[in-house]
Amino acid sequence: MMKRPIWRNTMELRNYLKIHTIFGLVFCLAVSLAFLAQEASGAASGGQPGQFLAWGAGARSLGMGKAFYAVSDDASATYWNPAGLTQMDRRELMALHVNLFADTMYDFISYVHPTPKLGIFGANLTRLYSGGFEKIEISYDENKEDIIDIRSVGTFDDVQMALTTAYGKRIKDNMSLGASAKYITHTLDTSTNGFITFDVAVLVEGINHRFANLQLGFGVQNLLSSKFGDTDDVLPLILRFGASHPFLRNKLLLAFDLDKNLKANMGWHIGAEYWVINFAALRIGFEGEQGIRETTAGFGVKYKDYGLDYSFALHDLGLSHRLSGSWRFGPSVTQNREALVRRYIQEGMEAYRQGNFLLAFSRLETALDVDPGNKDVKRMFSRIQVITGFLQAAAGESEEAVSIRKGVGAYVESDDKTAINAFRYAYYKNPQNIKLLALLNRIEKELGINQTDAYKEDVVGFTIIDQKVFDSRQAIIEGKYDQALIKCQEILNLEPANITAMEIMGSAFFMMDQPDKAKQVWMKVMELDPTNKVVPEFISQLEQR
């Protein structure tokens, strides 16, 4: 049972009725124009080789006046704009059959196969058939220059067909590229000729936050075409542009296309689609050159994974009806893609934690290739890219290697403070590691903090840990207990088992009148160093309080 809409107020109900009334009037006007458009029709640019491929595909797009280049979000994208294939989340099959006029039929069938990693593949077959033409034989007397006899010797057909393979790949979060290859044949009685040609296309989904839903399509058709057969026909180069934008909470879609055959006039297409309810839509469209060449209208319904679309058009040859159906099936490629990206991220994290930074780079690069719009992957990849520019690996269990791995992990995962401390500690352990110093300075400059200089111990054996211990003790003397805690924590981040830092940290808590925390820290010291003679005295003082 369909739920009735609940209106929050009278104004919302009025707006809803107003929208439906306006669109209903526009739809009726379009139907009326369909029967008046012939008087305003302009000259068409027919007669071009491969012109049957301008007829269209899918009753949905045909009902929108073929203004579909920047929409291309169903299986007909193999025909319109292969870059639009990237909008497909599941496999889809579409078929169209049209009975035109005088034993002429037009058929289109398309299949789209998305993959989570490699992009979106598709193929279609387009066929225009005209049959039953009478074939005659003429006997001619050359002396008398007169026809002796005319007799029928059967019939012949005119068949034009194109097999297209298409591919789309998302290269950025809002941009996709597409390409298609077409094998075209034209058989007229016993004469056959054909072409092999290519199309390229771009689809941009959103320009900025103000036009986030605007889609733009650009493309060139019939590139690098080659011909075969017994005619001198040459396929014309065609430039395509399209724009589309949804309105009214995605209920109304408006689209506009331009196509320029370099050997003919520029064509234009305007279309609209309005979803009256969530499973039924009305469509109108206009196509023309100097004037209106064809006016279209139609409707579509969808139920779960199935869609059925109908449109009609009025043109110079009369009224034609178009009917197509579609079926979406199979798993969601988005879900598969997300699982695949998670797997590559995990493999990348395991790689850099084990010290293999080049392998981590490779895994994160693959994850970004699978999902170019993933912001987390972009950030992680850009950071591992910085790392591999200086260091490719850090194997072994030395303090230097362990600290480098810790720093790399923290940096890639955006824990900049831990990364800086770990890299500095690793460098102080091995001041000869110039590449590490260069990496450290690169990150320090990026974060806008003071850069680490080439390490020189002014006092023999006085390391960065010694400096931090000195600073923490000085903070205790000056009564800056919070600063002492910070310095001690920095030491423990570098050396988690540093007894001296724990002793000072316990003293800071004690001075801050937090005996429970002081005792907790000092008990940790006793676990690590049962022979410690200082801490038991501290604990004894706590128990006497």
Report phi then psi at 250, rounded to 5.
Answer: 70, 10
Residue 300, beta-bridge partner list: 281, 309
Average the pLDDT over 25-40 and give the result.
Answer: 45
Highest mean pLDDT among 128-142, 228-242, 339-353: 339-353
pLDDT: which is higher, 325 or 158: 325
pLDDT at 514 > cutoff 90? no
At CA 244, angle to CA 109 and CA 97, rounded to 5?
20
In sequence order, the 6+-apart residues with CB closer than 8 A to the CB of 17 are none
pLDDT at 369 > cutoff 50? yes
Average the pLDDT over 508-537 and give the result.
Answer: 85
167's tokens? 């591919």
For the stretch 215-266, pLDDT in tens is 999 999 999 888 888 777 888 899 999 999 999 988 999 999 999 988 888 9
- Give me the domains of the chain, ranges plus CATH numbers: 18-330 (2.40.160.40), 335-447 (1.25.40), 468-488+495-544 (1.25.40.10)
For the stretch 89-128, pLDDT in tens is 999 999 998 887 767 889 999 999 999 888 999 999 999 9
Helix 399-412 × helix 375-388 angle, to 10°: 150
275's tokens? 């979803």
Q: What pTM was estimated for this model as a whole?
A: 0.65
- Measure the CA–CA gap between 79 and 11, rounded to whole angstroms: 43
Sorting pLDDT into bands at 50, 70 and 90, what band is 38?
Answer: very low
142's tokens? 């050359």
